[in-house]
Amino acid sequence: MKKVLILGAHGHIAALARKQLLADTDVQLSLFLRRAKRIQDADPKRETVIDGDASNVEQLTAAMKGVDIVYANLAGGNIEDQAKAVVAAMDQTKVKRLIWISTLGIYDEVPGAFGKWNHAQLDGGYLETYAAAAKVIEASDLDYTIIRPAWLSNKDIVSYELTHRNDTFKGTEVSRKSIADLVTKIILDPSKYVRDSLGVNQPNTDGAKPSFY
Q: Give the interface with ligand NAP as residue ranges (CB under 6 A).
A: 8, 10-14, 33-34, 53-55, 73-76, 82, 101, 103-104, 149, 151-152, 176
Quickly list DSSP for 100-139.
EE--TTTTS---HHHHHHHHHHHTTTHHHHHHHHHHHHHH
Which one, 69 or 134, has the nearer CB to ligand NAP?
A: 134
Give the shortest CB-128-to-ligand NAP separation in angstroms: 13
List, in sequence order, every beta strand (DSSP E) within the chain.
Answer: 3-7, 28-33, 47-51, 69-72, 97-101, 143-149, 151-153, 161-163, 173-175, 196-201
Give the shortest CB-75-to-ligand NAP separation in angstroms: 3
Find the distance separating the first CA and the last CA of the chain, reported in whole Å: 43
Which one, 1 or 77, has the nearer CB to ligand NAP?
A: 77
Give the shortest CB-207-to-ligand NAP separation in angstroms: 15
Nearest-angstrom CA–CA distance, 178 and 159: 6
Which one, 69 or 146, has the nearer CB to ligand NAP?
A: 146
Which one, 28 or 175, has the nearer CB to ligand NAP?
A: 175
Residue pair 141/172 in contact (Cβ under 8 Å)? The answer is no
Give the shortest CB-173-to-ligand NAP separation in angstroms: 8
For the chain, how many helices (H) and strands (E)? 6, 10
Closest-CB residue for ligand NAP? 11
Which one, 99 or 142, has the nearer CB to ligand NAP?
A: 99
DSSP state of 176: H
Give the shortest CB-79-to-ligand NAP separation in angstroms: 7
